[in-house]
Chains A and B, each alone.
Chain A
Amino acid sequence: MLLALLKGSELSTIILLKDDVECIDVCNEHIIYNFLLNHSKRYDKTVFLCFEKPPDTYHKLLPSETKDRVVTIDATKYSHMWLDFHNHDNKLETGTNVRKLIEEQLPSGNGSFGLIIDSLSFHLLLRPPSFTCQFLHNLSTVSYKGYEIKQIVCGVHQDIFDSQILKQIEHTATSVLTFTPSPHNNSTSCALLHHKTSGKVIRKIEYFHINESLTISSIREENKLTTAIETENDQVDPASNLTFNLSLKESEKDAKNQLILPYTYDKNRKEAALNEPGGGKIFYQADEVDDLDEEDPDDDLNI
């Protein structure tokens, strides 16, 4: 599922990546790089808004053929554009400043376009959560300079916000991926919650490794379904604690199967019985107590 979301075979408008301090570099950054790489392969243009790290840290890792399709914006340089405290009450402006910023940097053209935001933390810290939700929603519904937005990927550090704020952001997102370090063999677990376009909701936990070339490998899926079935099946076997023997050994089973019971028809006899001409005719002579009148079946009752 993680790979399907990465590769874009599973459609999702807003993907939220949640991480905490324990796996901040393993997951968030590497996963964001992976999304960046896949976006740049898939879409005509990718805008990468960096709020926390200089965009070069990601950009230089990209293969050269996709580099020119990625537009990186170091948002710290344009803080006057999005850090408009005085204006944030004005609903008209919700998200438009970031949109303006994107439109300024994006060369005109047409096609599909993806947006990656490395962290929503600044927005969430400085403003009420509803503002960030509206900002994301507004970004996901408009088109930019002829480009049609396909996907927004954004990261958030879940340990610096309370669950209430996160709940609202998660409500706006279509997929929520929560990354936590997994205790065994250095892998990372990713708890997926994906809302399909068909309305189906998928909840899964997957484990993966990220190797030196920053590719995701060895995805293992924890299947909750099987654990549920196992708990159902551990009922007590009634034949286990008996003073007498109910079970059969293999040899005994064979012997049992070989025994032909009386009145068992073999194949030839069965066929003969079935094809026997004119046999088994029933003659019935009416009794005097027989009531063959169908009209009133109860007329012999004295009520």
Chain B
Amino acid sequence: MATKTSFQKKARGKIFQIPGTRPSLFNNQLLVSTGIPSLDHVLGGGVAVGTVLLVEEDLFGDYGRLVVKYFCSEAVMTGQSLLLASADINPTDLTKDLPAPIIDQPKDDTRESGDKQTTDSDMKIAWRYENLPKFQSNPSGIKFGHYYDLSKTMETRLVESINIKYISSDNLYTDSQKESGGCRNCEYNKLLEIIKTTLDTSQYSTTSQITKDTNILKIAIHSLGSPLWDENGGLKDDGKGLDSALPRFLLALRSLLRTSFSVGLITIPTHLFQEECFIRRIEKLCDTVIHLESFSGSEKEKNPVFKEYHGLLNIVQLPRLNSMTSHQPDTLDLAFKLRRKKFTIEQLHLPPELGESGATTHDPLQNLKSTGCTPGGAGNSKLDF
């Protein structure tokens, strides 16, 4: 009897792990990857489940689209469900050229044959290792945050393996005006309705028990609030006064997501909105807000300081989830780079100064002075004579 204590192990281990998620090291919030590991790192490990990530698009929308594609690819690789909406591009076209994953270990079905091949061939140099037992490095199969190769497109077989719901502008036409109710913009209402029914019917609610089948719904909305969503730069039809349709939509979406296993990624071309306060209002209604500022076509493209990068990443807002403080990244000077194969976010560094500018040519002179034996050197050193 003496060995029995009141201490009980916390029963965390019994909860099924939802594929493609991991608890945050920071506040134990369940996180989902955006598909860009470097962005995850900046945002504190990933996007928390139940929150909305807003990406303010660059001037031409190219990088915003790329972020959406990475987000979709990650959903495919982790087997999560996806709801993809876009009015500008046909969403089915968007998933046609998703970046292909870089798989360092072969998938389950090909692994066995691969193993046989390695045992057949003899090791010539490190032959001692041949007799060692083999370890499976990653037994869980699905990991968090994949790397993708932009130069290759993902196989359609792979894309079709997950549950994707496409919403294009055709799905959003309402037959009659009476549905729209108080809100002017019926596209938003319709989209909200679709999201709500998807959440309700497929058990993404957090109130239901977590089972083996519990999955994450990723909601990606591309270029929301562009003119094709019937948005007039944040203004009402007559150009007078701010239109409240988009803020209302975002508020409703956020409240829907809060109680569900879903994550939202929204890109908005905020540069099209006339009023600064309207943009601020939208930012406040999302949890995490980042702004992509592309150099293409701007003066900064030719600035030697930014030679290595394609644009700046401004962190506008980071979420405070179940705490008073938010995650603070190491630095806020961030830039993004689009290489042939990948899109990365890096800390903004100034390039090494190799040119013969004023500062470098003066240096040798100063070194000479510091030796103390230069005649005529008007240095402060006591050794000077």
Contact = CB atoms under 8 A, between A and B. Distances in A.
Given A171-B269, A201-B297, A91 B227 contact: no
Interface string B84-97: 00001010000000
B227 A134 contact: yes
B302 interface: yes
Contacts of A169: 227
B182 to A, nearest CB: 16
A91 B296 contact: no
Contacts of A193: 297
Looking at B238, B239, B271, the one whose CB has the most chain A CB atoms below 10 A away is B239
Contacts of A128: 232, 237-239
Contacts, number: 65
A262 interface: no
Contacts of A167: 233, 271-272
Looking at B175, B177, B233, B361, the one whose CB has the most chain A CB atoms below 10 A away is B233
A201 B230 contact: no
A89 B177 contact: yes
A134 B228 contact: yes
Interface string B46-87: 000000000000001010000000000000000000000000
Contacts of A168: 227, 232-233, 272
A199 B358 CA distance: 38
Interface in B213-237: 226-233, 235, 237
Contact of B227 (A89, A130, A199, A235): A130
Given A91-B186, A171-B269, A199-B62, A130 B230 contact: yes
Interface string B231-267: 1110101110000000000000000000000000000
A261 interface: no
B174 interface: yes
Contacts of A201: 60, 296-297
Contacts of B226: 133, 171
A224 B358 CA distance: 26
Contacts of B229: 130
A195 interface: yes
B302 A228 contact: yes
B302 A225 contact: yes
B297 A130 contact: no
A41 interface: no
A242 interface: no
B173 to A, nearest CB: 5
Interface of A: 89-92, 128-131, 133-134, 137, 141, 164, 167-169, 171-172, 193, 195, 199-203, 224-225, 228, 235, 238
6 contacts: A91-B186, A91-B230, A129-B227, A164-B233, A171-B272, A238-B361
